Amino acid sequence: MTTTLRPVEPEHLLRDGTRSRSYDICVNSRVVGGVRLRAEPELAGPGSVGRIDRLAVEEPDRRRGRATVAALAGEEVLRGWGCRRMWVSVPATAVAARRLAQALGYRETNCHLTKALWAPPELPPGTTVRPLTEEEFPAWSAASHAQFVESCVAQGLDRDHAEARSRSDFAELLPDGPASSDVLLLVARHRGQDVGTLWLALHEPVDRGGFVYAVAVAEEHRGRGHGRALMHIAEREVLAAGGSRLALNVFAHNTTARALYDGLGYEPMLSHYAKALL
């Protein structure tokens, strides 16, 4: 029995070069599922990034290799579209999809975590918070940019693409620096000393909640609970703004941060995987 992909719609092409198309997954012309493919232009350099936006096989045809063949066929389509690497996002509850991604050579790069918020946590004695100032913003921005780029490179992303992506994200998310709307840039202080910084969006469309874009503790102050305090500050701010949930991204190599978030009750929501197309 032969598993193939059959287009079900014309190819969609956007002005920015993004292209996408949906396909039926067929076994000897019998439809058993569907897949949607997308290719986005690289922010830097030639080529595109391919994405499998959706892949589903109907229950009677599962556990027969249909999804594996469909994913590999999708990679061939995206390779023909000029893609050099693949990205897939898998809900934490989709255990079979996670196993499939790993079996096909995808490597987890980062994970989105989330937590329902109920009551504002107490801050440690001696810990206070203040806004990041306009004068401090350039140095903070440069350090945050460098940290993000190094984290992306550690997960296999080429440096030029990581640099371009970081510049694009900062321009979009912080157009007015510390004065950008629905964003808080905060400095945590402990007994009169600055110990860390927090970049928090207050009204992200994640279950009426906020999103932590960056948490950083100064090297000389690490290992003293200030990371936990910064997360408690974020939770308090989201609750004060009327939110009920907080989400964040953690890179797979950052096991220290992951342990912190796990200890604070954050749960996996979405895992992201990458693979080079050779």
pLDDT digits (tens, 9 = 90+) for 98-123: 999 999 999 999 999 999 999 999 99
Residue with the larger pLDDT of the pair 278 and 233: 233
Instruction: Assign domain 3-105 to a CATH class.
Output: alpha beta
Whether 2 has a pLDDT exceeding 90, the answer reads no
**What is the β-pairing status of strands 183-190 and 12-13?**
unpaired
Tens digits of residue pLDDT in 31-45? 999 999 999 987 655
Angle of helix 66-80 versus helix 95-103 axis, rounded to 10 = 60
pLDDT at 105: 96
| Sequence ranges of the domains in the chain | 3-105, 116-270
d(CA 146, CA 167): 10
The DSSP 8-state label assigned to residue 11 in this structure reads: P
pLDDT at 278: 81
Distance spanning both ends of the chain, measured CA to CA: 28
Going by pLDDT thresholds of 50, 70 and 90, the confidence category of residue 223 is: very high
Reported pTM: 0.90
**Same fold for the pair 3-105 and 116-270:** yes
d(CA 189, CA 126): 8
CA distances from 163 to 84, 94, 151, 175 (A): 18, 32, 11, 17
d(CA 147, CA 131): 21
Q: What fold, for 116-270?
A: Aminopeptidase (3.40.630)
For residue 133, give both structure tokens: 């100032």
d(CA 153, CA 158): 6
